[in-house]
Structure 1
Amino acid sequence: MRVRHIADSDWDGIVALESSAYTDSSLTEGRAALESRAQASPATCFVLDHGGRITGYVLSLPYPRFQYPELTRGEEVIFHSRNLHLHDIVIDEEFRGRGLARGLLHHLTVTAGAKTYEHISLISVGDNETFWAANGFHAHPDVPLPRSYGATAVYMSRAVQGGRAGSSAPFPDPLPGSPPHHEVG
Structure 2
Amino acid sequence: MLRVIKPSDWPTIAYIQQTCYPHALLESVAVLQNKQQLAPHCCFVFEHQQQTVGYCFAHPWIDNQAPSLHQALAPNDAASTLYLHDVALLPQGRGQGLVHQLLHHLEQFTRISRYCSLSLVAVAGADRYWQKLGFTPCSISKDLNIYGDKAQYMRRELSD
TM-score by length of 1: 0.78
Q: Is the 8 A contact 1:90 1:101 kept in 2?
A: no
Query: Which structure features the higher share of helix residues?
Result: 2
Match of residue 79, structure 1, among 76, 94, 114: 76
Deviates more, 1:134-143 or 1:77-86: 134-143
| Offset from partner CA, 1:138-170 (integer Å, 9 cap, x none) | 1113433332100000111122335xxxxxxxx
Percent identical: 31
Are the aligned partners of 1:113 and 1:161 in contact in 2 as well (CA < 8 Å)?
no
Deviations 1:47-76 (A, max 9, x none): 11245532111101111111122112222x
Per the alignment, in what secondary structure is the counterpart of residue 24 of structure 2? coil
Distance 1:151 1:108, change over 3 A: same
CA distance in 2, matches of 1:66, 1:82: 9
* 1:118-129 to 2 correspondences below 5 Å: 118-129=116-127
| CA distance in 2: counterparts of 1:26 and 1:104, whole angstroms | 26
1:13 CA drift (Å): 1.4
- Separation of aligned partners in 2, 1:29 and 1:129: 21
Whether the aligned pair in 2 keeps the contact of 1:143 and 1:155 (CA below 8 Å) is no
2:96 counterpart residue number: 98
Q: In structure 2, how many angstroms separate the alpha carbons of the residues matched to 1:25 and 1:104?
A: 26
Whether the 8 Å contact between 2:117 and 2:157 is mirrored in structure 1 is: yes
1:57 — aligned with what? 55
Q: 1:132 maps to what in 2? A: 130
What SS is found at the alignment partner of 2:2? Answer: strand
* Counterpart Cα distance in 1 of 2:142 and 2:17: 24
1:159 and 1:143 map into 2 onto residues whose CA distance is 19
* Residue in structure 2 matching 1:107, options 105, 108, 111: 105
- Which residue of structure 1 lines up, in the alignment, with residue 8 of structure 2? 9
* SS across alignment from 1:161: coil
Task: Judge conservation of contact 2:48–2:93 (CA < 8 Å) in 1.
Answer: no
Report the CA distance between 1:20 and its aligned residue. Answer: 0.9
**CA separation in 2, counterparts of 1:131 and 1:156?**
11
The corresponding residue for 1:26 is: 24
Q: Within 2, Cα distance between the matches of 1:111 and 1:4? A: 15
Contact 1:140 1:155 in 2 (8 A): yes
Structure 1 segments unaligned to the other structure (5+ residues): 163-185
Letter in 2 for 1:4: R
Question: Within 2, Cα distance between the matches of 1:68 and 1:155?
Answer: 7
TM-score, length-scaled by structure 2: 0.89
